[in-house]
Amino acid sequence: MSSSAEKIMRGVGASPGIAIGRALVVSRSPVQVPYRPLAEDQVDREVERFREAVGAAQNELNAAKAELGPDLADYAYIIEAHLGILGDKMISQRSEELIRSQLINAEWALGLAEAEAKGIFEKVKDNYIRSRASDVEYVAGQVLRHLSGNNGIELSTIREKVVVVAHDLSPAETTQMDLGWIMGFVTDMGGPTSHTAIMAQAKAIPAVVGLERVSAEVTSGDFVIVDGSNGTIIVHPEEETLHDYRDKQEAYEIYAQEILAQAHLPAATADGRCLEVGANIELAEEVGTALNYGAEAVGLFRTEFLYVSQKTLPTEEELFTNFAAVAQRLDGRPVNIRTLDIGGDKFASSLELAPEINPALGLRAIRYCLKEPSLFRTQLRAILRASVHGEVRVMFPLISGVGELLQARQMLEDVKRELAGEGIPFDPDLKVGIMIEVPSAVAVADLLAQHADFFSIGTNDLIQYTLAIDRVNEFVAHLYQPLHPAVLRMVRQVVTAAHGAGIPVGMCGEMAGDARDVPLLLGLGLDSLSMNPLAIPRVKQVLRLASAEEWAGLAEQALGYATAAEVGRFMQGELARHFPEILAPRTPLPEDLG
């Protein structure tokens, strides 16, 4: 397509699909932030100038929210979150405090406040919570553009078929994209759980983010291919590449229509076994997305964002409102509310957590909650109160033994008696589950099963603790292997213990949402899987095509291999035989990776 050589750039696939066309680089020149000291008599006017810029940014966001059509109504919470950041003391109040206390101009004060707020989120390893730092950056950027008189990009005015290339885009800007003209977008910044990525998924627009230098290396008019499914873009594609991708584009569009049309069918296997397929969510507003993609439950409702998104602890009423909203929107479908999993790799701006040498092995999750009974009781009261609004269950994270579970259950019983004494209604038969995330819990799973109503395997932590690998450490992350024989044997042991006690067992870690692992999980006997909502249609499709009996036999074969590489090659062969059209092969594992 061009005299220039074909170039492949790799980032993060934020929204699946393929876009092919000319690039339009919408460069937003960085606003120069001047430092300007103020005289005492200039402070009030500077605060007023700052407030005017905040008001203009609020008007922009409210306009974007008003323009959301019925198909995007469930995503209004993203713009509301940005409005909330604008009104939060982390940005607005803190900036005004800095203007007054340091006698500095609004732009400089805003930069300091932004850095402080982003620092809160960037200390967190959890991808979803860490990516909220980008929301702070978006909001501060909007205010800064109004302070400088640079009002940014007007994507709604584009009237040519293009692929948008930018340093970064806000969710509000993404909502302005007219799909009749904008075929896809790529950005230097961003991650898979950023709100911009979520909006791209909602609009079904192919997107790749986190490319670092794409806005500098692509020129408007360059011919590009965007593959949002695998996170690559190709600049100046050769004719053969272009031909291949046009075929892939057509095949993907047919496939996407088919699996979405079938997403609401039950995940019943070819031989009649039915698994519950649910969604992992962080916010009540995400329920709509989950249901749209075919979720039959919320298998994991993480509650940490309610703590890290504000500088004060959420009240019982705030927690209850969120939990009840989820239960009501699910309309009888179950929701597993995980109690606070904070500490270790997570950070809450409202909680004072002492620094620890090895936080992953320190005071986190259920340990922290048992040490802070007042905080724990507030959560339990809110969950119990919400239980009258739907099929609510409670789930305790990082349980390492029976003693911890009995302590948590005793506190739950105490709170039940407290609510009953106050005449506050709740479900007395609220189901109590635990997350199996550490090897000790696997070892005593048969004992834990005597005191739990269900298990949920959290593979993200279980793999980390079993293999002694920090998956965000670049030197050992390659050793993080879900198909390691030790991990598979632990899953089998937990399933055997749960079924022996007559309780169901599910999985809510990332492994549950990887369609390439799902047939093996079916064969290992899991009863439910919970995942990112976008993964649900494909996982359901794989389950409907699989035979539970056949995969039980194949799982036994997989358990007989000695290394993750051997299991990986075995699974690659079986997936190619059973699902040749719908599952891309996994990158083969080297021999020396266990």
Residues catalogued as catalytic: 195, 508
Q: How far apart are CA 188 and CA 458, in angstroms?
A: 32
Overall residue count recorded for the chain in this entry:
594
Q: Cα(325)–Cα(52) distance, rounded to whole angstroms?
A: 34
d(CA 229, CA 253): 12
- Phi/psi for 338 (5° steps) reads -80, 130
In the numeric block, which tokens belong to residue 208? Answer: 């790749």
Paired sense of beta strands 182-187 and 207-209, if any: parallel
Q: In what order do the strands lie in the sheet with 12-15?
A: 7-10, 232-235, 223-227, 18-25, 162-166, 182-187, 207-209, 12-15
Rounded to 10 degrees, what is the CA torsion of 563, 566, 568, 569? 170
What is the spatial distance between Cα 337 and Cα 331, in angstroms, rounded to a whole number? Answer: 16
- In whole angstroms, give the CA distance from residue 305 to residue 127: 12
> In whole angstroms, how far apart are CA 63 and each of 46, 66, 522, 578?
26, 5, 47, 49
> Are the CB atoms for 531 and 279 separated by under 8 Å?
yes
Structure token digits, residue 187: 């950005």
**Tokens at 433, concatenated:** 């589950």
Identity at 77, one-letter amino acid code: Y
Nearest to 299, CA basis, from 544, 509, 514, 491:
509
Q: Which of 568, 570, 458 is nearest to 507 (CA)?
A: 458
